[in-house]
Structure 1
């Protein structure tokens, strides 16, 4: 039983398509088929019912799936342990939402290092979907994100809300915002839904950008109006680059901490959760 067989099984269990799994894993369909056949031979059972529409898990496949997820996570942990961490006692891998960190990465890292002085810290700035996938595979120990993905192997804790304010180079009020010069920051589904409900006439903007730093840069460089994080808005206003659109509603985006379900009571995850709770001023 090989790690790539487990990974292929879990992907196929999700996609139910040999073609899609081959595309996602970057291999041929024949390779996917060969890995599944080898895994079935090792287990002595059929894991999938093949049909013209794709593949469905058999009863045996359904029973094997949670064990496969556990095997994948344990393999990732074993690989990391075997790789070592130099003189550090352990490596802690933390994922952070791009737009959440902003210019405060040094502050976050300093807090982690102060609380975990014996650990080598690996920080990955990424988007929610990839961080959820990395938590499931064991590539991350902990993540702070906008959009949790419901999954039986994942556990999430709500930390609080991130505030966004509308700024503009030309408008002091929403009525003065020029739709043709509006930049929509598509930060996360929850933010997009709040934006559509509050400002439907600005939701179909001519320019849409998915990263806060890029939105702020476009407004400062090209002019126009957009929502940016409160901290960025304050800095841009203080620098004289923009003004707040006074009557634009404050929009919020929930922030969540994520970890593998099996690690929700682990001491490391508890300490990491305590650190990020402190950053957001939230309590247990």
Structure 2
């Protein structure tokens, strides 16, 4: 038995399609079939049943799935550990939502290092769906993100929230904001739902983006109105590049952390959670400035 068999089986558990799994893994369908057959021979039972209507897990396949996920995680953990981290006691891989990391990477890394000084850190920016998958697969130890993706192997905790504010290069009042030059933000499903409820007349913008940095660039280059993180709004105001729009509601975006269920009570992970909550609170609270 090798890890490729396990990876292939787990991908089939998601896709229920030999064709789709072959495409996702970059191999041929015959390779997928061969790996599954080899795994079934090693276990002495059928894991998948193929028919005209598709592919389904057998009873044995359903029983084996949680063990397969555990095997994949243990393999990933072992591979990372044996590679070593220099003089550090362990390596921790952290994923952070693009908007949260932005140009604030130093602050996040400092908070992480203070929480786990014994660890060598790897930090990357990504999006919620991919990060949740990476935590589940053992590619990340912890993910700070906007949209939890429920899974039996994942534990989620709320860290706090960040605030988005509407700014404009052409309007100081909400009633003066033009839908024609409005840049629609789509940072996360929760944000979009709140935006649509509060501002239905501005929820069909001709230009849309899911990144704070992109919306900022569009506003400064093309003009118009749109939502940005309050730190960005403050900077744009300070530089005379845009105004904060009076009457426009602040939209809060919850921030979550995801860890593998088996790690939720480990000391290093608990220290990270406490430090991240404190950092997020300090990062989004400035005297005299609404959060």
User: Would you say same fold, with TM above 0.5?
Assistant: yes
Deviation at 1:118, TM superposition (A): 2.2
Structure-1 separation of matches of 2:36 and 2:48: 9
Which residue of 2 is the match for residue 217 of structure 1?
Answer: 217
Question: 1:1-284 residue pairs with structure 2 within 5 A?
Answer: 1-281=1-281
Tell me the secondary structure at the aligned position of residue 5 of structure 1: helix
Which residue of 1 is the match for residue 289 of structure 2?
Answer: none
TM-score if structure 1 supplies the norm length? 0.97
Deviation at 1:97, TM superposition (A): 0.4
Structure-1 separation of matches of 2:188 and 2:115: 30
Deviation at 1:183, TM superposition (A): 0.7
Deviation string, structure 1 residues 232-278 (Cα, Å, up to 9, x no partner): 11111111100011101111111001100111111121111111111
Structure-2 separation of matches of 1:170 and 1:132: 39
Deviation at 1:147, TM superposition (A): 0.5
Is the CA contact 1:50–1:56 (under 8 Å) kept in the aligned structure 2?
yes
Structure-1 separation of matches of 2:155 and 2:188: 19
Number of residue pairs matched by the alignment: 282
Structure-1 separation of matches of 2:115 and 2:218: 37
Q: 1:210 to 1:281 in 2, by over 3 A?
A: closer
Deviation at 1:101, TM superposition (A): 2.0
Structure-2 separation of matches of 1:23 and 1:181: 40
Deviation at 1:20, TM superposition (A): 1.4
Tell me the secondary structure at the aligned position of residue 139 of structure 1: coil
Which residue of 1 is the match for residue 288 of structure 2?
Answer: none
Tell me the secondary structure at the aligned position of residue 50 of structure 1: strand
Q: After TM superposition, which residue ranges in structure 1, 4 or more long, deviate above 6 angstroms?
A: none
Structure-1 separation of matches of 2:94 and 2:125: 9
Deviation at 1:280, TM superposition (A): 2.9
5+ residue gaps, structure 2, are 283-291
Deviation at 1:139, TM superposition (A): 0.7
Deviation string, structure 1 residues 88-139 (Cα, Å, up to 9, x no partner): 1111111100011232210111121222222111001100111001101111
Is the CA contact 2:183–2:208 (under 8 Å) kept in the aligned structure 1?
yes
Is the CA contact 2:13–2:57 (under 8 Å) kept in the aligned structure 1?
yes
Structure-2 separation of matches of 1:122 and 1:33: 36
5+ residue gaps, structure 1, are none
Cα RMSD between the aligned structures?
1.2
Deviation string, structure 1 residues 117-174 (Cα, Å, up to 9, x no partner): 2211100110011100110111111111001100000000011111100000001122
Structure-1 separation of matches of 2:206 and 2:148: 28
Structure-2 separation of matches of 1:185 and 1:235: 18
Tell me the secondary structure at the aligned position of residue 85 of structure 1: coil
Structure-2 separation of matches of 1:58 and 1:110: 48
TM-score if structure 2 supplies the norm length? 0.94
Is the CA contact 2:116–2:268 (under 8 Å) kept in the aligned structure 1?
no
Tell me the secondary structure at the aligned position of residue 195 of structure 2: helix
Tell me the secondary structure at the aligned position of residue 258 of structure 2: strand
